[in-house]
Amino acid sequence: MNSQAASVPAAAGHDSGLSLSYGYGTDRGLRRELNEDSFIASDPVFAVADGMGGHEAGEIASGMCVRALAAMPQLATGERSVTAAVIQQYLMKADSSIREATGARAGTTLTGAVVVEQMGMPYWLVMNIGDSRTYRLSQGQFAQVSVDHSEVQELVDAGEITPEQATVHPRRHVVTRALGAGDETEADYWLLPVEEGDRMLVCSDGLNAELSDEHMFRILSTVGHPQDAVDALIQAALRNGGRDNVTVIVVDAKNVMNDGGIATTAPRPGSDAEDEITLPRSQVVEAPRPATAGEDESGEPADGRE
Ligand code: MN
C-alpha cells in the first residue's frame, strides 16, 4: 500500500484560517494485475481518477488527468483561488492529450474536492466526471456529493431500479461520461461551504463497490486520524474481496472561521453559495444519520502529490 499522512496548516495569505489534515492511499486490490487509478492530494486539490482501457492505457489516462490538475499554478503556491472555469480548462487539455496518447481507446473518471476561498470564506468545490465518488461527513451527516455518470444511476433517476438494486446490477460498471473517450466529457461542479469538522472522502469505485455507505460512514465516524481512516477503508475493501483497484483520500477541515474571524461549530443557515458561480446540474444528496466525525491529530507534513 502506498500511503502517507500529511498535515497542512493554514499558509500565510489564507484568509479563512482553515487548516486541512489529510491522508491518502491506493492499492491494486486482489484481482487486478495493474493499478490504473491515479490521485492527487496536495492542498488545495484532492482528486481521484480511475483509468479505463486495457494494456496500461487506463493508467496513462488517469495519470494524464491528475498531472493536468497538478499543472494548475495554484498547486505550486497552495493558493485557494481555483475556479470551476479554470479546472474545466485544464480538464479539456487533459481530455485532448488522453485522446492523442491513447487514440481514444482509454478514458478516465475524475472526482474530488478543491478548497477555494471567496470573500474570506472557504468552500469545497466538488467536481465529477464518471463514477468515482466524493462524499462528505458534515455535522453528523454522511452523504454522497457527486452524482455518478453511469447507466445504473440513470436507471435509478428514472425510477426503474432502486439504489440497492444498482449495487448488484450487471451493468453497474458502465460509465456514461469520461475524460479522453466518448462524446460526454463535461464535469459537474458543486460548491459547498466548509463547516467546522468536515471530513471529505474521495474514492474510486473499488471502495464503494466493496463497502456499503453505512460501512464507510462507520469507519469515517469512528477512526480519528485521516490516514488511519484511509488505511481502515482500504483494508475493509480488501477484506470484502478487493476486486478492483482501491484509492482513498480523506480530508479534514479545522479552524473554519465564520464572519468576524470567530471559529464556530454552528451550522451556517441556508447558505446559497451556488449563486456565486455558474454550476451545471447542481445537486447535493443528504442522508441524515446519527453520528459525528471523530477527532483527529495532525501527522507529519508531506508532499501529498502522486
Ligand atoms: Mn475502478
Q: What is the CATH number of the domain that holds 210?
A: 3.60.40.10
pLDDT of residue 16: 73
Determine what percent of the chain is predicted with pLDDT higher than 90.
72
Q: Is residue 297 part of a domain?
A: no
pLDDT at 260: 45
Residue 148 domain flag? yes
Distance 168 CA to ligand 1 centre (A): 15
Please indicate, yes or no, if residue 90 is contained in any of the structural domains: yes
Q: What is the pLDDT of residue 6?
A: 54
Predicted confidence at residue 251, as pLDDT, reads 98
**Contact yes or no for 145/123 (Cβ under 8 A):** no
pLDDT range class, residue 299, cuts 50, 70, 90? very low
> What is the band of 156 on the pLDDT scale with cuts at 50, 70, 90?
very high
Q: Say how many Å lie between the CA of residue 175 and the centre of ligand 1.
A: 11
Q: How far is the CA of 258 from the centre of ligand 1 (A)?
A: 38
pLDDT above 90 (res 66): yes
Confidence at 137, pLDDT banded by 50, 70, 90: very high
DSSP string, 143-187: EE-S---BHHHHHHHTTSS-HHHHTT-TTTT-BS--BSSSS--PP
Q: Is residue 89 domain-resident?
A: yes
- Full residue range of the structural domain in which residue 214 is found: 2-292
Question: What is the C-alpha separation between 281 and 301, in angstroms, rounded?
Answer: 36
Question: Is residue 266 scored above 50 in pLDDT?
Answer: no
Q: What are phi and psi of 252, to 5 degrees?
A: -110, 140
Q: Which stretch of 10-19, 36-45, 85-94, 188-197 has the lowest confidence by average pLDDT? A: 10-19
Average pLDDT over residues 204-208: 97
Is 301 domain-assigned? no
250-276: average pLDDT? 59
265 lies in a domain? yes
pLDDT value, residue 14: 61
Q: How far is the CA of 27 from the centre of ligand 1 (A)?
A: 11
* Cis previous bond, 44, omega within 30: yes
Rounded to 10 degrees, what is the CA torsion of 30, 99, 71, 137?
A: -50
Q: What is the mean pLDDT of the chain?
A: 84
Assess if residue 305 is contained within a domain: no
* For residue 79, pLDDT beyond 70: yes
Q: Please give the distance, rounded to the nearest whole angstrom, from the Cα atom of residue 205 to the centre of ligand 1.
A: 5
Domain count of the fold of the chain: 1
Whether residue 68 has pLDDT greater than 80: yes
The answer to whether residue 159 scores a pLDDT higher than 80 is yes
Distance 61 CA to ligand 1 centre (A): 13
Q: pLDDT at position 210, please?
A: 97
Structure confidence by residue, pLDDT tens digits, 209-232 = 999 999 999 999 999 999 999 999
The arithmetic mean of pLDDT across residues 132-157, rounded, is 97
265 CA → ligand 1 middle, Å: 36
Comparing 170-179, 249-258, 278-287, the range with the smallest average pLDDT is: 278-287
Q: Which residue has the higher pLDDT, 306 or 160?
A: 160
Positive/negative CA dihedral, 223, 227, 232, 233: positive
Distance 24 CA to ligand 1 centre (A): 16
Report, in angstroms and rounded to the nearest whole number, the Rg of the chain calculated over CA atoms: 18
Residue 107 lies in a domain: yes
